[in-house]
Chains A and B, each alone.
Chain A
Amino acid sequence: MTNTLHRYSEHYASVAPSHPEPIRDDYIVFAMATRGINDDDLVEKYRTFLHLALEHHPVNVGDATKGGIVRPRQDLNPSAHWRRDHRPDPEQVIAQIEGHTTVAAVFDNYAAMKHFVEELKIADLGISINISAPMAEARRCCEDAGILRHSVEYSVGFSGRVDKLPDATTLELSTMCGHGMIAANFAKKMLEWVKENRRTPEEAARYMARFCSCGVFNITRAERIMKRACNRE
């Protein structure tokens, strides 16, 4: 799974600006065990990871096999069209962990990520912990937390038929689900609806988040992107 590796920003544009805007609201910390090696008491380890994360107010948490804090529902009735419940449910994510998966927490600020990583170091869960973020920020976090980086993986961007990709704003939104479950056409539709004032950026971000089946979609960043695109900042 490389589901958080290639999140588009203008750093990855075919013709990148000389000083692209840093991304300061998208930090992911995730945990993953290896079968047969460090997967004893795995459910408890994952639950501890997410409970620790919740103390730092993540904008999303997820289980790669079940989804994030907002999920589609199978039991809606027509009143949903007027009174949709958009409230997140992180406890549902924690309660439904069953075994091997990847669990993730998404933060919209550096300090929250750093404090969470410091607590993870003390908790010593014995499973692999990764940061997915701008590399310089991840490195700074490790230095601040007194951690020596073990391995790194860089996204070096997109090649080939990039002419088939949608516009930059749509890509910024849709690539926040690296599994590709948020269709570019749906992201475009949500942008249009915000422009037409048919939905707020907050509502539109939650519609998209429901399609992300592992919970790494950054709802706060999506709201910011849509506000910027619709001149509502």
Chain B
Amino acid sequence: MKIDPDKCVACGNCVPVCPMGAISIEPTIGRATINSDDCVECFACYRGMSKEHLNPLIVRAVRRVAKIFRFRFDPEPDICPTDAIVPQELAWPRIVRRAFSDPQVPHESTGIHGRGTAEVKTNDVTQRVKNGEAGFVVELGRPGVGARFGDIQRVTIALAQLGVEFEENNPVASLMSDRSHGLIREDILKEKILSAIVEIKAPVERVPAVLQTIRDLAREVDTVISIGVSTRCDAAGNDVLGEILEQQGYPAYRGKTNLGLAVSAQ
């Protein structure tokens, strides 16, 4: 993403809307600029802000006059008045930033928007997580911190050593050069993204050990990790996972429940 200096009026509205804090007003030129290393190409600034398409010369003149008199204009906080935010054509490897950061771009590997995985949301159709299994969604970078693939690889290597099974139909898995060792292709390791989900499966009795490994790993990475764990319910609609998590002292307050309503149509 770029900000067109010919259009920007340095109103500053785009500065706080960047989830990565990559936008600032450059005092030497009096325009907003984007730190391209921190920008994850999520398009939040470009898509989330409304636009007025005003003439930049007129807006700057009005702002100069207001500044002389120290007037505080109270503009709408989510508008780019001059349509100055401009998407760039992205080449490899930078393009993976957008694939993992912009929720409105479907992943080529899965065809799914967002972070590109269906988890157990369609488990009543796909049987992705079967009886006696636990599915883990290990999301690095969320909420709002971002992650580099180098950190993600640290986690995938450790998980591979644990002997767990990586979910086949997952965007991170599709970028692995050696799945048995958890290696991710080298040319993207420095790329920063908003977040990425590593999905694994293990027998449900291994939930405490796997969660402990992930928590131990979390101390070694320079980002935050959000963890979800799932399972299939039994014929009476009960699950063993809640009890296991409670015993282990994990906060399992919120989550998703697949109602199984697609099944009758199969």
Contact = CB atoms under 8 A, between A and B. Distances in A.
A101 B230 CA distance: 22
Contacts of A210: 48, 50, 78
B258 A152 contact: yes
Interface string A152-169: 111111111110111000
Given A139-B257, A150-B232, A164-B145, A183 B227 contact: no
Contacts of A1: 103, 112-119, 121
Interface residues of A, number: 95
Given A37-B125, A153-B228, A156-B229, A11 B145 contact: no
Interface string A90-117: 0000000000111000000000000001
A220 B145 CA distance: 26
B228 A211 contact: no
Contacts of B225: 158-160
B87 to A, nearest CB: 14
A156 B135 CA distance: 13
Contacts of A188: 16
A19 interface: no
Nearest to B237: A148
B251 A156 contact: yes
Nearest to B127: A151
B164 interface: no
Given A81-B75, A214-B114, 4 more contacts: A34-B118, A132-B257, A151-B124, A154-B250
22 contacts: A1-B117, A1-B119, A2-B115, A6-B254, A23-B254, A37-B266, A65-B104, A72-B47, A74-B50, A102-B114, A128-B259, A138-B256, A142-B237, A150-B123, A153-B229, A157-B227, A161-B221, A164-B145, A179-B114, A181-B103, A185-B21, A186-B17
